[in-house]
Amino acid sequence: MKRFVLMLQFLTRIPININLQVDEEDFFEGIIYFPLVGLIVGMFVVSSYYVGLKISGTLLGAVFAVVTEIFITGGLHLDGLADSFDGIYSNRPKDQILEIMKDSRLGTNGALALFVLLLLKVVLINDLVIPNVYPILLLMPVFSRLNVVFVSRIAKPARKQGMGNLFIGRVKTRQLITAIIIALIPSLLFIKIIPAIGALLVFALWYVRHITNKIDGMTGDTLGALCELSELVFLLCIIMVIH
């Protein structure tokens, strides 16, 4: 339970006023709860979509869903997305890319990536069919975070030190299997997502190869970017399956 609460505090901005005595091992072992944290995030997203739908319709519901996820996570993964795009697509050598990614200032590539991603998420969510939209929005954060666990299992760290090194290259097979089981249990609500799960795994394999070719590994920022991009891939795949 302590490690689950730790992951909630780490991955979200949900106010949990508990002072935990933790160490690096607790972070490392707590990664199995990433999908469960995603499920809780999904509950907030579904609730906000419903509110927006009742007020004005599907478009406002989609906007509320996207904005709520930003608030719940504190924009944690969006920050990683922006930093990753600023660095990875700067056409610089590895060391300079890593320095750019550490810079807190937002560059053009990062700003464009944020704008396009958020716009596409609103458009795709708005296109989802009721009542299918509810299990889709519930499960979207679950499997995006499962992808983070999967990539942490197969990738290597690009830096010698960094927050991402708590997970990257250290995840064991038993942890990945546990995270998969946690993610699959709620997915029984909506069997149509099975093709999307396969698409996410394929995307994760391509993503690791692409990023590794640029910086010889993964970082915390690229994991955050993976989480956001996985949600986009998930929605795109669901739209194609449903329609």
pLDDT digits (tens, 9 = 90+) for 12-22: 998 888 787 77
Give mean pLDDT, residues 164-170.
87
Q: What range defines the domain where residue 228 resides?
A: 2-242
Judge whether residue 243 has pLDDT over 70: no
Of 78, 53, 72, give the one whose Cα is nearest residue 63. 53
pLDDT digits (tens, 9 = 90+) for 83-136: 999 999 998 888 899 999 988 888 899 999 999 999 999 999 999 988 889 999
CA distance 5 to 18: 9
Number of domains composing the chain:
1
Q: What percentage of the chain has pLDDT greater than the value 90?
A: 71
Strand partners, 218: 157
